Amino acid sequence: MNVEIISIGDELLIGQTINTNASWIGKKLSNIGANIVKSVSIADQKNEILDSLNDIKEKTDCVVITGGLGPTKDDITKHTLCEFFNTSLEMHGPTLEKIKVFFALRNRPMLESNNLQAELPKSCQILENNYGTAAGMWFERDNTIYISLPGVPYEMKGIMTEEAIPKLQSLFELKSMYYKTAMTQGKGESFLAEIIKDWEEKVYSKGLSLAYLPSPGMVKLRITSTNGDRDAKAIDQLFIELEKLIPKNLFGYDSDTLPSIVGEILKSKNLSIGTVESCTCGKLASYITEVSGASSYFMGSFLTYSNALKQKLANVSKESIEQYGAVSEQVAKEMAEGGRLKLGVDVCISTTGVAGPTGGSEEKPVGMVWIAIATCDQIIAHKFQFSQHRERNIHMTSLCALNLLKNMLSE
């Protein structure tokens, strides 16, 4: 099943909105064995939409279109599809009922514009929307299926999951691609490639392909097989070999995240955790608590942005701040140990650094960060030098802290 994705919206082209819908659709459909050939973003203008629909290649089995189905005047997809499929709108009773119930349940008045959302093209099948007021539409022509969905992500996801994907699966015999991805932290793409060069050759020699997917602080290594899961065992074996090559960097697979892995370790060892954060200011704790159920090991934190609060809350000594500065090994260690005692936790991570873009000095440039971890029997501290970029530095610090913790607890 060859799929093209068309995302409609000026906001995507001028960069006001990042197109997360196309990624989500790509992921879901790849997982059921579809081949995503292309993903196009275009303006919400009739001619652009019609052009894209006319450009669809013959080999394409399914086109997924998102956007332009809202209740406001700039939403023109429905009308344009009527023109393309040479049909017209009519009031769709069940959808109107659904919209009425939607508003009644929320105790909100129904607006005329919502009423009009129940007018749908005659020639399409309706895909029910259980999360909003814009129904999905399913058209068929010349052996190609066209699915039109609202652009609001959770409505689109709902309709895809509950309606469109089951319908597609019942129509196509899908040959699965099989993917497995190792998640690594702490080494750049070129360096990884150098370390794992021979291993990489081995991957290719088995007829599999390897992709390096770098993102700030992480590189994902994805092996793809076109034989479905028949290569699953060979791939598992390859990854076991990879783990031995980069044990401090490879932390998990596929949907594993550093917070989920760290959470598993903490639970298995029955350890509680807290943080004392300066430069990351809550980011590290928010990563740890991304995991539902984190309350069984995460207790709480001090965010000590000011030096006064570093002293008052985390027992950092005034002398250390004066002698070494707030961004120093000494202060990082005192923060971690003070936090461990005052939060009453088994493990405490601290961060202190110059997030930037201002505030750097020759001795302590922007991007310099100290991370410390205190447990009942040791305190470790590591220095990192990141970039000029505030948001990236905060993110990298949080990731590195979690990876340090993972390695410390795994020893």
Binding to its own copies by CB under 8 A, coded x per residue (else -) over 134-153, reads ------------------x-
d(CA 270, CA 113): 54
Q: How far is the CB of 125 from its own copies (least distance, A)?
A: 25
Q: Does 309 bind its own copies (CB under 8 A)?
A: yes
Q: How far is the CB of 44 from its own copies (least distance, A)?
A: 8
Q: Does 41 bind its own copies (CB under 8 A)?
A: yes
Q: Does 404 bind its own copies (CB under 8 A)?
A: no
Neighbours of 360 (CB within 10 A): 16
d(CA 318, CA 199): 51
Residues 10-39 that bind its own copies (CB under 8 A): 10-20, 22-28, 30, 36-39
Q: Which is nearer to its own copies, 333 or 390 (CB)?
A: 390
Q: Does 344 bind its own copies (CB under 8 A)?
A: yes
d(CA 356, CA 368): 9
Q: For the chain, how long is the longest CA-to-CA vector? A: 79
Q: Does 331 bind its own copies (CB under 8 A)?
A: no
- Binding residue for its own copies (CB under 8 A) from 88, 247, 391, 410? 391
Q: How far is the CB of 107 from its own copies (least distance, A)?
A: 11
User: Residue holding tokens 């390096």?
Assistant: 212
Residues 234-273 that bind its own copies (CB under 8 A): none
Q: Does 104 bind its own copies (CB under 8 A)?
A: no
Binding to its own copies by CB under 8 A, coded x per residue (else -) over 43-82, reads x----x---x--x--------------xxxxx--------
Q: How far is the CB of 141 from its own copies (least distance, A)?
A: 22
Asked whether the beta carbons of 331 and 324 are under 8 A apart, the reply is: yes
Pairing mode, strands 218-225 and 178-185:
antiparallel
Asked whether the beta carbons of 298 and 267 are under 8 A apart, the reply is: no
Q: How far is the CB of 237 from its own copies (least distance, A)?
A: 21
Q: Which residues are CB-contacts of 3 (< 8 A; sequence separation ≥ 6)?
A: 29, 34, 35, 36, 37, 60, 61, 62, 63, 64
- Binding residue for its own copies (CB under 8 A) from 88, 207, 300, 341? 300
From the list 308, 288, 307, the residue with the least C-alpha distance to 298 is 288
Q: Does 283 bind its own copies (CB under 8 A)?
A: yes
Q: What is the DSSP string of 14-41?
A: TTSS--HHHHHHHHHHHHTT-EEEEEEE
Q: Does 161 bind its own copies (CB under 8 A)?
A: no
- Binding residue for its own copies (CB under 8 A) from 94, 166, 207, 357? 357
Structure tokens at 392: 């990236």
